[in-house]
Amino acid sequence: MTVTHRQGAGEPWVDDGARRAIAIAEAAGLGPVGAVAPLGGLTNRNYRVDTTLGVFAVRLPGAGSGAYVDRATEAHNARRAAELGLNCEVVHLGPDGAMVCRFVDGEVVAPEALAVDGDRLERLARALWHLHVGAGAFRGRFDPVVEARRHRRALVAVPAGTDDLLAEIAGFDLDAPLAPCHNDAWPPNVVFRADGGVVLVDWEYSAMNDPAWDLAHLSVECGLDDDDHERLLRAYTGGTPPTDLRRRVGLLRGVSDVVWGLWALVQVADGNDATDFAAYAEARLRRAPTWW
């Protein structure tokens, strides 16, 4: 639903988030705002803002996100990705995480629909390959096991067996050359443009990492079956996937469940009610060892 940014007689009410988005866009020098509309988001609040200078997306950072997101690192990496055409143009990124990007027209598909229609899965696989080999060094290091431990330290208590999962993944052999990675590549963060291009948004977790993580994370989030998982790997490598890449992706699918299961428990602790994070965490932590 689009609402005008001015509130007068007969005009729609604008929530506090929309008012903040308007103020940020105007402070960034983007001209008077004509309309604002909410977009999706689990931890951040996002808005489409139409101004006299074009259409922009404004992100308001979620509560507590500053504890685990380095905004200077995000800004550097997001701009590197934009230079490759894999991110929208970053117009403004404040130290508090408020960000303004040029809005990208295209289609966002549900995770379960990614592999169903057309060549989207292959397009995204090739975009990830382009990121991994073409972006140059990112700032920061995303180590999934370290991330899982960091989330655990933020929690007073965890479900039974969770610490055993942490001990198990700490013993995995995951040594591999590092590459610039998105680290949260799943369909809600992907825009498929009509011209065939692919744009990834939300670079909060971007950093150097094993590229197998982006593939494993995507496969798990989309619930790919064996055939589509194989199609993902083949599209990424342009042929038969190397044995060690296949091995690392297999292990990291389970690690992904541990990382994001613990992340969801942190959301519960922070009072984030955007979705049922408790049920989400339970499902992921229960499923994690099934990948091994």
Q: Which residue, of 82, 102, 122, is where some domain finishes?
A: 102
- Looking at residue 255, which CATH number applies to its domain? 3.90.1200.10
Question: Which among 115, 99, 93, 81 has a CA at the least distance from the CA of 197?
Answer: 81
- Do residue 137 and residue 188 come from a single domain? yes
Looking at the predicted structure, is the pLDDT value of residue 64 above 60?
Answer: no
Would you state the pLDDT for residue 125? 98
Q: Strand locations in 87-228, DSSP E?
A: 90-93, 99-102, 179-181, 190-192, 198-200, 207-209
Q: Is the distance from CB of 140 to CB of 64 less than 8 angstroms?
A: no
Q: What is the pLDDT of residue 6?
A: 41
Q: Is 239 left (phi over 0), alpha (psi -120 to 50) or beta?
A: left
Residues 128 and 270 grouped into a single domain: yes
| CA 109 vs CA 190, 222, 227: distances in Å | 8, 11, 20
pLDDT of 292 reads 87
Give how many domains the chain has, as a whole number.
2
Q: Are residues 187 and 251 in the same domain?
A: yes
Give the residue among 292, 288, 291 at the shortest CA–CA distance from 148.
Answer: 288
Residue 154 CB neighbour total at 10 angstroms? 15
pLDDT score of 46: 85
User: Where does 108-251 show beta strands of DSSP type E?
Assistant: 179-181, 190-192, 198-200, 207-209
Phi first, then psi: what are they for 129, rounded to 5°? -60, -45
Residue 8: its pLDDT value, please?
43
Residues 130 and 27 in one domain: no
- Which range scores top for mean pLDDT: 5-14, 43-52, 153-162, 266-275? 153-162
193 and 163 belong to one structural domain? yes
Residue 51 shares a structural domain with residue 134:
no
Percentage of residues of the chain with pLDDT beyond 90: 68
What pLDDT does 27 receive? 85
83 closest CA partner among 30, 128, 136: 136
Angle between helices 120-134 and 226-237 (to 10 degrees): 40
Q: What is the mean pLDDT of the chain?
A: 89
Residue 10: band (very low, low, confident or very high) from pLDDT cuts 50, 70, 90: very low
pLDDT digit string, tens, across residues 174-230: 999 999 999 999 999 999 999 999 999 989 999 999 999 999 999 999 999 999 999
Same domain as 37, residue 178: no
Q: Provide the pLDDT for residue 9.
A: 40
Contact 192, 168 (CB under 8 A): no
One domain for residues 153 and 180: yes
For the chain, how big is the Rg over CA atoms in Å? 19
- Residue 63 — very low, low, confident or very high, per pLDDT cuts 50/70/90? low
* Mean pLDDT to the nearest integer, 236-265: 97
Give yes or no: residues 155 and 43 share one domain: no
User: Average pLDDT of 244-254?
Assistant: 97
For residues 17 and 51, the answer to whether their CB atoms sit within 8 Å is: no
User: Which tops the pLDDT comparison, 118 or 104?
Assistant: 104
Q: Supply the pTM of this predicted model.
A: 0.85
What pLDDT shows up at residue 258?
A: 98
Burial of 94 (0-12, 13-18, 19+ CB in 10 A): middle
Q: What does the pLDDT look like over 147-176, one tens digit per residue? A: 999 999 999 999 999 999 999 999 999 999
At residue 66, the pLDDT reads: 55
Residues with Cβ within 8 Å of residue 208, at least 6 apart in sequence: 137, 138, 140, 141, 142, 178, 179, 180, 181
Sign, Cα dihedral of 188, 226, 217, 139: negative
Distance CA 249, CA 139 (A): 23
Residue that finishes a domain, picked among 102, 132, 150? 102
**Domain range for residue 30?**
16-102
pLDDT tens for residues 16-49?
A: 888 988 898 888 888 888 898 888 766 778 899 9
